[in-house]
Amino acid sequence: MMFETLVRTRHQCPYNDLSRSYPDARMSLWRTNGAEFFEIESPNVGSFKSIQKDLASLSKQYPAKVLARVATQVRAHLIAKTCTCDSTIKDHTKELFEKHDFMEIPPEVMTGGWEHYRLVGFDNSDLRGLLLHLGSIGKTEILYKRNIAEGVTDEKFTISLSNLFGQLTEKQLKALVSAIQAGYYDIPKRVKTVDLARRDRRSRTTFEEHIRKAESKLVYAIAPLMMMYIPNSRKTQVGREFQATGTH
């Protein structure tokens, strides 16, 4: 049984400590070909200079070279090539993922002093072992867990059109497109479901059912990314497993 899970953990780490100091910022760490790229996004442009100053201080221990820097009136963004390799950190998370046979879906996201990881696993016992080890180095929570179809493809690592729309039936997709085109999602709404149903020659209850199921499938498809993206959000531990939306 393959499953996808979103795990967050809090332990001492130089860049995660930086995210704790700036809870409105979203920090992402990408690893590729032995290099690490650290990305910072902040809606608080005023504090962005302080973030850069702290990053410069960290670069004395963890070398960092700024590759891109953009600041507007509403948002600041920075990308740096860096290295957080530190063999002195016991039971590093990456080693634990490998030990318990998990594949990580990049990037690692840090917000409000928490590190967030999207993982693909193959056995629930592996998850129990991973949580036990992560819990020994810092507070750890499961935010999301759901079964995924057998077979490892690139769609497990990205949000593709197939991920978003592949589980929708033709009727659900047509109902959703019709609602969008008619202004159902405008604020305020420009049309009611009874009018949409009449145009589609269906009953109101049937049309609303198509809309609700389509919305549910789309939300569940992007749920892991939403949980990782919102800076310093109130994320509650989810104990139950989310079932694949394709069963609706």
Q: Which residues are CB-contacts of 217 (< 8 A; sequence separation ≥ 6)? A: 167, 168, 172, 245, 246, 248
| Least confident span in 44-53, 147-156, 235-244 | 235-244
The pLDDT tens digits for 146-205 are 887 665 555 555 555 556 676 788 899 899 999 998 999 998 999 999 999 998 889 999
Give the integer Cα–Cα distance in Å for 105 and 124.
Answer: 18
The pLDDT tens digits for 11-30 are 878 888 889 999 888 888 88
Among left, alpha and beta (phi > 0; psi -120 to 50; other), residue 232 is left
Please report, for the chain, the start and end positions of each structural domain, with discontinuous segments joined by +: 2-158, 161-221
pLDDT of residue 138: 86
The pLDDT tens digits for 139-160 are 999 988 888 766 555 555 555 5
**Cα torsion 227, 134, 98, 127: sign:** negative
Tokens matching residue 46: 């005023």
Output 242 or 39, whichever has higher pLDDT.
39
The pLDDT tens digits for 214-227 are 998 888 777 766 77
pLDDT of residue 146: 82
Q: How many helices (H) and strands (E) does the chain have?
A: 8, 8
The pLDDT tens digits for 67-117 are 888 888 778 888 888 876 554 444 478 889 999 999 988 888 999 899 999
pLDDT of residue 131: 92
The model's confidence at residue 237, banded by pLDDT at 50, 70 and 90, is very low
Instruction: Fill in the DSSP letter of residue 11.
Output: -
Give the integer Cα–Cα distance in Å for 217 and 166.
Answer: 10
pLDDT of residue 162: 59
Output 188 or 232, whichever has higher pLDDT.
188
